[in-house]
Amino acid sequence: MQLASNIILIGGSAGSYTLIAELLEQLPSYFDTAICIVLHRNRQYDTQIEKSLSRKLKKNIVSAFDKLDICKNHVYFAPAGYHLLIEPDFTFSIDSSEHINYSRPSIDVLFETAAQIYKEKCTAFLLSGANTDGAKGLRIIEEFGGRIIIQDPEVAPIRTMPLAGKRETLNPEIWTDSKIVSYFNTLN
Amino acid sequence: MAGLKENLIIEFQDLEEIIYLLQNVSEYDLSGYSKSSLKRRVERFLQVQNMDIVDLKNTIINVKDFQHYFIQELVVNVTEMFRDPHFYVSLKKNVIPYLKTYPQIRLWSAGSSTGEEAYSTAIVLNESEILERSFIYGTDISPRALDIARKGVYPLSKIKSYTENYLQTQPTSDFSSHYTAMYDAAIINKEYRNKVLFSTHNLVTDNAFNEFQLIMCRNVMIYFDKELQRRVLNLFYDSLSLFGFLCLGSKESLYAHDIKNNFKVIDKQYNIYQKIK
Domains for chain A: give ranges and CATH numbers.
7-185 (3.40.50.180)
Residue A33 has pLDDT above 80, yes or no: yes
Residue that wins the pLDDT comparison between A56 and B118 = B118
Residue A69 has pLDDT above 90, yes or no: yes
pLDDT digits (tens, 9 = 90+) for A83-134: 999 999 999 999 998 899 889 999 999 999 999 999 999 999 999 999 999 9
Residue B3: per-residue pLDDT: 40
| Amino acid at position B141, single letter | I
Pairing state of beta strands A34-39 and A7-12? Answer: parallel
In degrees and rounded to multiples of 5, residue B269 shows phi and psi of -70, -40
Give percent above pLDDT 70 in chain B.
97
Instruction: Write the DSSP assignment of chain A as a string of letters.
Output: -PBPSSEEEEEE-TT-HHHHHHHHHT--S--SSEEEEEE---GGGTTHHHHHHHHHHTS-EEE--TT-B-BTTEEEEPPTTSEEEE-TTSBEEEE----BTTBSS-HHHHHHHHHHHHGGGEEEEE---SS-TTHHHHHHHHHTT-EEEEE-TTTSSS-HHHHHHHHH-SS-EEE-HHHHHHHHHT--
Can you tell me the mean pLDDT for A25-47?
87
Picking from A95, A107, A53, the residue whose alpha carbon sits closest to that of residue A75 is A53
Residue A92: per-residue pLDDT: 95
Can you tell me the mean pLDDT for A28-48?
86
pLDDT digits (tens, 9 = 90+) for B213-267: 999 999 999 999 999 999 999 999 999 999 999 999 988 889 889 999 999 999 9
Q: Does A104 touch chain B (CB under 8 A)?
A: no
| Amino acid at position B204, single letter | V
Q: How confident is the model at residue B76 (pLDDT cuts 50, 70, 90)?
A: confident
First-residue to last-residue Cα distance in chain B: 54
Beta bridge partners of residue A124, listed in sequence order: A9, A148
Q: How confident is the model at residue A48 (pLDDT cuts 50, 70, 90)?
A: confident
ipTM of the complex: 0.90
Q: Is the peptide bond before B85 cis (omega within 30 degrees of 0)?
A: no
Chain B residues with beta carbon closer than 8 angstroms to that of A65: 251-253
Q: Does A93 touch chain B (CB under 8 A)?
A: yes
Chain A residues with beta carbon closer than 8 angstroms to that of B10: none
Give Cα separations from A166 to A63, A182, B131 (angstroms). 29, 22, 57
Can you tell me the mean pLDDT for A36-52?
80
Q: B51: buried, middle or exposed (CB in 10 Å: 19+, 13-18, 0-12)?
A: middle
State the sign of the Cα–Cα–Cα–Cα dihedral A119, A120, A121, A127. positive
CA angle A117, A118, A120 (to 5 degrees): 130
B37 and A65: CB-CB below 8 Å?
Answer: no
B116 and B93 Cβ atoms separated by less than 8 Å: no
pLDDT digits (tens, 9 = 90+) for B176-203: 999 999 989 999 999 999 999 999 999 9
Picking from A98, A86, A118, A156, the residue whose alpha carbon sits closest to that of residue B34 is A86
pLDDT digits (tens, 9 = 90+) for A138-181: 999 999 999 999 999 999 999 999 999 999 999 999 999 999 99
State the sign of the Cα–Cα–Cα–Cα dihedral B237, B239, B240, B246. negative
Q: Rounded to the nearest 10 degrees, what angle do helices A160-168 and A135-143 cross at? A: 30
Residue B5: per-residue pLDDT: 47
Is A13 noted as a catalytic residue in this protein? yes
Can you tell me the mean pLDDT for B60-83?
90
CA angle A95, B151, B207 (to 5 degrees): 55
B36 and A98: CB-CB below 8 Å?
Answer: no
Residue B104 has pLDDT above 70, yes or no: yes
Can you tell me the mean pLDDT for A44-56?
79
Taking residue B1's Cβ as centre, other Cβ atoms within 10 Å add up to: 7
pTM of the predicted protein model: 0.91
How far is residue B252 CA from its own chain's centroid? Answer: 13
Residue B167 has pLDDT above 90, yes or no: yes
Residue B4 has pLDDT above 80, yes or no: no
Q: Give the Cα separation of B127 and B134 in Å (integer).
A: 12
Can you tell me the mean pLDDT for B49-72?
92
Q: Which of B219, B225, B253 sits opposite A96 (nearest CB)?
A: B219
Residue that wins the pLDDT comparison between A1 and A84 = A84
Residue A44 has pLDDT above 80, yes or no: no
Q: How confident is the model at residue A47 (pLDDT cuts 50, 70, 90)?
A: low
Residue A145: per-residue pLDDT: 97
Q: B172: buried, middle or exposed (CB in 10 Å: 19+, 13-18, 0-12)?
A: exposed
Query: Which range, of A139-148, B61-70, B95-104, B120-129, averages the lowest pLDDT?
Result: B61-70
Can you tell me the mean pLDDT for B12-40?
95
Picking from A144, A83, A91, A85, the residue whose alpha carbon sits closest to that of residue A118 is A144
Q: What radius of gyration, in Å, describes the C-alpha atoms of chain A?
A: 15
Q: Does A142 touch chain B (CB under 8 A)?
A: no
Taking residue A57's Cβ as centre, other Cβ atoms within 10 Å add up to: 15
B34 and A87: CB-CB below 8 Å?
Answer: yes
> Mean of the per-residue pLDDT values for chain B?
94
Catalytic member of A29, A32, A40, A128: A40
A94 and B7: CB-CB below 8 Å?
Answer: no
Residue B1 has pLDDT above 80, yes or no: no
A104 and A94 Cβ atoms separated by less than 8 Å: no
Domains for chain B: give ranges and CATH numbers.
12-74 (no CATH), 85-275 (3.40.50.150)
CA angle B204, B207, B209 (to 5 degrees): 135
B223 and A140: CB-CB below 8 Å?
Answer: no
Can you tell me the mean pLDDT for B1-7?
47
Per DSSP, helices labelled H in chain B are 12-25, 35-49, 53-62, 66-74, 85-90, 96-99, 116-127, 143-151, 156-167, 190-193, 226-239
